[in-house]
Amino acid sequence: MRKVVMTDTTLRDGSHSVSHQFTLEEMKAVAKSLEEAGVDIIEIGHGDGLTGSSINYGFGRHTDFEYIEAVASVLTRSKLAVLLIPGIGLIEHLEKAKALGATVVRVATHVTEADVSEQHIKAAKKMGMFTVGFLMMAHMASKEVILEEARKMQSYGADVVYVTDSSGAMLPDEVFEKISYLKAHLDVPIGHHSHNNLGVAVANSLKAYEAGADYLDGSLIGFGAGAGNTPTEMLTAALEKSGIQTNVDLYKIIDAGDQVLKPIVEARGSELPRFNSDSLIIGYAGVYSSFMLHAKRASERFGVDTRDIIIALGQKKAVGGQEDWIIEVAHNLAKEQGKL
């Protein structure tokens, strides 16, 4: 059977769970434990990607460049990855990240906007970096549209293209349909990144492999905002039980979560990922978890149910940057319900 290439995002996507406040020593300790467990690619940095530290997305304790330099100093086998969202991260930032030790970049765009990744993917390839096209919010587009966008990333030089379930909205059958369609029509490998809002992240990842994906993501203890990501430990165990090979040692990855990450999280009083009604409704509606706080404030202001606001936003296919819709949606719901 095909061997899975495992990417762990504890130190990037998981950064949301600690408000981007990992210390350099914490980053180094977790990264080293991931490498010792055999993880192929370790993604690090601000939760919103390279140079995401800002008033809009939350300030990190350290710059991404400080994190990269620190983590690069302890890795000898695993590849060090960064996420770059065009418009937040620039090519000059990627050049600096490469100089400090990053060897992989995942260039992330909304699922229908791959064209904005062209200059970044081409620049990354020119720098000699392993380059991933990362199509976010994949539940929002048909398999035909995803293929069209994936072909753009492939044409720009991407080594892998990801079908990314950013809000944990996809179910296994949808994952299989979309990834198998891409597998049949692309020349580059396919990857999958799941969130656990509907409790099916591991199942989705297994289905992605069945459909032809060779790259799968996880994070220790599922560390990430809300319900979190696919737990790397659970995914490793499920793949092993299914007879699917990885380079990850099951006992060592369990220990990385229990003995390295968990004490860090508990010492700072942060919560481990868990199911709650907020994460469930985010996954059900298919919107970003960042909408929830704004929706709750609008709920109090207009006297309407937060869940109705979130679901209405999902129906409007709202994406990051369209938070201004939340007030409009809440106002319209209040009018419809006779509360204004």
DSSP 112-175: T-GGGGHHHHHHHHHTT-EEEEEEE-GGGS-HHHHHHHHHHHHHHT-SEEEEE-TTS---HHHH
From CA 94, how far away is CA 113, in angstroms rounded? 20
- Residue 150: in which H helix or E strand, if any? helix 143-156
Cβ contacts of 322 within 8 Å, gap of 6 or more:
none
Which residues, in sequence order, are bridge partners of residue 106? 83, 132
Angle at CA of residue 130, ends 124 and 132, nearest 5°? 85
Is-catalytic flag, 294?
A: no
Q: β-pairing, 104-110 with 215-218?
A: unpaired
From CA 168, how far away is CA 198, in angstroms rounded? 6
Residue of 16, 110, 139, 195 with catalytic role: 16
From CA 266, how far away is CA 260, in angstroms rounded? 11
**Active site residue ranges:** 16
